[in-house]
Chain A
Amino acid sequence: MNLEADFSLARGSLQLDVELQALAGRTLALVGPNGAGKSTCLHVLAGLLRIARGRVALGETVLDGGPGGPFVEPEHRGAGVVFQEHLLFPHLRVVDNVAFGLGARGVERSTAQAAAREWLERVGLLAHAESLPRELSGGQAQRVALARALASARHLLLLDEPLSAVDASARLELRAELRRQLDAFAGVRLVVVHDAIDAFALADRIAVLERGRIVQQGTTAEICSRPRSRYVADLVGLNLFFGAVRAGVLTLAGGGSLVVPPGPDGDVIATVHPRAVALYRVRPDGTPRNVWAAPIMSIEGAADRMRVQIGGRVPLVAEVTPIAVAELGLGKGGEVWVALKATEIVVYPA
C-alpha cells in the first residue's frame, strides 16, 4: 500500500504545502534545512497533527480527509514511529517498551514479551532487555526505539532524524544497521534526515522540503545529478547556477556569464563539480572557454581536499589539493585565475 499525501497546514509562522508519494517496500528520505517542516510532516503522517486542507491516504484508506473528512486516530494507523529524542518510556524496562505496542494491539503478554525479545535480539540488545532506558547510551536507546517501532508497525514506518542523538562513532554502524532494518520492512518507510550522507545511505528516493514545500522529489541518483535548489546542491556538494541560455552562453541571475555546451535556449539550471574548477596564479593559455580572475573569499578543508570559495560575478567553490593551495600561494583576500571547461558544466531546464 502506497502513501499519498497532499495537504496544507499552518504551524506558527510556517505554512506547509506538501505533496508527496511514498511507495511500499521503498524508503523515502525527507531532507531539508532546519525549520522546513520535516517533523511537522511526519507528525501529520503519524496522525498526531490534523491537516487544514487536502488528503493523506494509505492505499485505499483515507487517513486524514481534511476538516470534516474522515480521520484515522494515530493508534489505529498501524504506524511505527521513531521520534527524534527516542521517547522511550522511562518507567518501563527495555523489553516492556518494545512490547508496549503489541500489548496495545491486544497481543497476550507472554507472546508480546517473546516477540519483543526477538526484536531486541535483531537490534543486538537482548542483553539489555531488563534495563531501564536511562541505563542505555544514546545509540542503544535509538536502537530500542527502532525495535519498538518495528514491533508495532504494520503499514508505515516513520523515523524522525533517527541518527541525530547518536555520536559520530556509533553513527556509521547504526546507519548500516538501520538500512538493513528498513529494507526488511515491507510497508512504506519514511525517514526524516538533515544529513545528505544519511539520506543517500538509507533511502531509495529523496524528497526535499524547503520552507514548507517539496521542492524536488526523485531517486537518489536524480537528486545527486540534477539538484534544483541551492540547498540540494550544497547537500550533494555541487556548484549551482540559475540563469538563461542564449546561443551557447549562460547569463547568470547574478550578472556573470559562462560558455556552456550546445543546447536549447531558455531558463536553465547549471551545475559544476568543484573538482572541475581549475585555479591558476597567472592567466592560463589553451582551451578553456571560461577564464576569469576573481577574489578568494575563504579556504577551508581537511587533510586531502581543500575547498576554495571564490567570489566575484560567478561565485563558486573549487576543490583542490593542499599541495595546490601551497604551490599557488592561495590565501584569503588574494586573487586567482579561474578556468572552467564548457564541457564540465551540466545544464538542464529550470
Chain B
Amino acid sequence: MSTRQRWSGLWAVPAAIAVALFLLPLAAIVLRAPWGRLFEQLADADVHDAMRLSLVSSVGATVLATVLGLPLAVWLAGGRSALRTAARIVVMLPVVLPPVVGGVALLLAFGRNGIVGAVLDRWFGLSLPFTTAGAVAAATYMGMPFFVLSAEAGLRSFDRRFLEAAATLGAGRWRRFRLVVLPMVRPSLRTGMLLCWARALGEFCATQTFAGNLAGTTRTMPLACALAMETEPDLAIVLSLLLATASVVVLFLLRRTWFPSR
C-alpha cells in the first residue's frame, strides 16, 4: 500500500538517527584507535594485570553464577508460589539497580564492618573488599541475574513429557536431569552464561565501590580504562577497543537466539 510506504519513509529518518546514535561511538573507537602502537600499548604490565583480572573476575563470576544459579533456576521454574515470586524479584534486582548502589550494598553486607563481613573477618579472617575475590563477588552479583533469568526461561519451556519418557526407561531423578534436562536446555544455559559473562566483564561501579581500585588486585579492564582516560587517552581507547570486541563476539555467539534469520 502506498500509504504504508510513505509512512515507512517517514519513520526511516528518526530510525536512521537512532542507529547512528549507536553506530557512531563504536566507529569513533575504531577510527581513533592508535593502530600503529596497538601492540606497544598492550605490552604494558599494568594492561596485562587488568586483562588477567578481567578474565579472572568475569570467568569466575560466570562459574559461580552457573553453580549457584542453576539450582536456583531449577527451583524457580519448578512452579508458582509467592515465595518464588519474592525470590525472583530479589534476584532480578541487580539488573535494574544502579551499580553504585549494588557496590554500597555489598560493602554494607560483606565489608569489613558489614553485617556478614564482620563475622567472616572475626571468625575466619576472611575479607572480601580490596581483594580479587571481592571483584569476583561484585561481578557475580551484577551478572548472575542474567544467567538465572535465561536458565529459568529455558527450564520453564522444557517439555516435561520427556522426563516421563525418561522415567519409564528406568532413569532416576538425577539421571533424568543430567541426561535429558541439561542437554535439552543447553542453549538457554549458554545464552545465560554469555550474558552473565558480558555483564561481569563490563562491571565497573560495583567493583570499584566494593572491591576498590587496586592495581594488580581489583583493577579490571573497565577500571583501568576509566583511569587511563585521565592520564593516557590512547591506552583507554585500546582497552575500550578490546572490551568492545568482546561484546561483539558475545553478540555473534548469541546470534541464533537473538537474531534468528527469519
Residues of A within 8 A of B (CB): 43, 46-48, 73-81, 83, 85, 87, 89-92, 100-101, 104-105, 148-149, 152, 158
Q: For A87, what are the chain B residues with a Cβ–Cβ distance below 8 Å?
A: 161-162, 164-165
B-side residues, CB < 8 A to A, are 161-162, 164-172, 175, 179-180, 183-184, 186
8 closest cross-chain pairs (CB), A and B: A101-B169, A104-B170, A74-B167, A104-B171, A81-B168, A87-B165, A91-B183, A75-B170
Q: Which residue of A lies closest to B184 (CB)?
A: A91
Q: Give Cα A220–Cα B235 distance, bound, in whole angstroms.
A: 86
Contacts of B161 in A (CB 8 A): 83, 85, 87
Query: Does the CB pair A80–B168 fall under 8 Å?
Result: yes
- B172 closest partner in A (C-beta): A75
Q: Which of B168, B179, B184 has the most CB of A within 10 A?
A: B168
Taken together as a complex, chains A and B put the C-alpha atoms of A75 and B166 apart, in Å, by: 8
Question: Across the A-B interface, how many residue pairs have beta carbons closer than 8 Å?
Answer: 64
Compute how far the CA of A152 lies from the CA of B169 in the bound complex, rounded to whole angstroms.
Answer: 6
Tell me the bound Cα distance from A87 to B170 in angstroms.
15
State in angstroms the CA–CA spacing of A89 and B167 once bound together: 13
**Can you report 23 residue pairs joining A to B where beta carbons are below 8 Å apart?**
A48-B164, A74-B164, A75-B167, A75-B169, A75-B170, A75-B172, A76-B170, A77-B168, A78-B170, A81-B168, A83-B161, A83-B165, A87-B164, A87-B165, A89-B162, A89-B166, A91-B184, A100-B166, A100-B169, A101-B169, A148-B169, A152-B169, A152-B170
Chain B hits for A104, CB < 8 A: 166, 169-172, 175
- Closest A residue by C-beta to B165: A87
Q: Tell me the nearest residue of chain B to A154, going by C-beta.
A: B170
Contacts of B162 on A, CB cut-off 8 Å?
87, 89
Contact across chains for B165 and A81 when beta carbons are under 8 A apart: yes
Max chain B C-beta neighbours (<10 A), residue from A76, A100, A105? A100
Known: A81-B165, A87-B165, A89-B162. A101 touches B180 (CB 8 A): no
Q: Is the CB of A73 within 8 A of B169?
A: no
CB-based nearest B residue for A101: B169
Q: Which residue of A lies closest to B175 (CB)?
A: A104
Complex Cα–Cα for A91 and B159 (A): 13
CA distance A152 to B166 in the complex (A): 11
List of A residues within 8 angstroms of B171 by Cβ: 75, 100-101, 104
Q: Please determine whether A73 and B167 come into contact, CB atoms closer than 8 angstroms.
A: yes
Asked if B168 contacts A74 (CB within 8 A), the reply is yes
Complex-state Cα separation, A105 to B175, whole angstroms:
11
Known: A87-B162, A89-B162, A91-B184. A100 touches B168 (CB 8 A): no
- Which residue of chain B has the shortest Cβ distance to A106 in the bound complex? B170
How distant is A43 from chain B, measured CB to nearest CB, in Å? 8
Given contacts A48-B168, A83-B161, 10 further A-B contacts (CB under 8 A): A43-B164, A46-B164, A46-B168, A47-B167, A48-B167, A74-B168, A77-B168, A83-B164, A101-B169, A104-B169
Question: Closest A-chain residue to B170, C-beta based?
Answer: A104
Contact A89–B168 (Cβ < 8 Å): no
Give bound CA distance, A85 to B167, whole Å: 16
Given A74-B164, A81-B165, A104-B175, are A89 and B180 also a contact pair (CB < 8 Å)? yes
Bound state CA distance, A100 and B162, in angstroms? 12
* Complex CA–CA separation, A104 to B166 (angstroms): 9
Determine the residue in chain B with the shortest Cβ distance to A158: B168
Q: Would you call A105 and B170 a contact (CB within 8 A)?
A: yes
* Distance in angstroms between the alpha carbons of A228 and B161 in the assembled complex: 35
Inter-chain contact A90/B184, CB cutoff 8 Å: yes
Chain B residue with Cβ nearest A96: B179
Give the complex CA separation of A148 and B167 in angstroms. Answer: 13
Residues on A with beta carbons closer than 8 Å to the beta carbon of B166: 89, 100, 104
CB distance from B86 to the nearest CB of A (A): 30
Give A79 to B184 CA distance when docked, in angstroms. 24
**Given A83-B161, A87-B162, A100-B179, also A75-B184 (CB < 8 A):** no
Complex: chain A residue closest to B180, CB-CB: A89
Task: Give the complex CA separation of A41 and B44 in angstroms.
Answer: 72
Residue of B nearest to A43 (CB): B164
Q: Which residues of B contact A46 (CB under 8 A)?
A: 164, 168
Q: Which one of A77, A81, A89 has the greatest number of beta carbons of chain B within 10 Å?
A: A89
Question: From residue B189, how far is it (CB to closest CB) to chain A in Å?
Answer: 13
What's the nearest-Cβ distance from chain A to residue B210, in Å? 40
What separation, in Å, do the CA atoms of A234 and B193 have in the docked complex?
A: 58
A47 to B167, CA, bound (A): 9
Cβ contact within 8 Å between B168 and A79: yes
Residues of B within 8 A of A73 (CB): 167
**Measured between C-beta atoms, what is the minimum distance from A116 to chain B in Å?**
12
Interchain CA distance A91-B180 in the complex, whole Å:
8
Chain B residue with minimal CB distance to A98? Answer: B169
- Which B residues lie within 8 Å of A77 (CB)? 168
User: How far is B132's CA from A212's CA once the two chains are assembled, in angstroms?
Assistant: 65
- Bound-state CA distance A47–B183 (Å) is 25
CA distance A81 to B168 in the complex (A): 7
Specify which chain B residues have a CB less than 8 angstroms from the CB of A83 in the assembled complex.
Answer: 161, 164-165
Q: Using Cβ atoms and an 8 Å threshold, which residues of chain A touch B186?
A: 91
In the assembled complex, the Cα of A101 lies from the Cα of B170 at a distance in Å of 6
Closest to A74 in B: B167
B191 to A: closest C-beta gap in Å: 16
Shortest Cβ gap from B136 to chain A (Å): 32
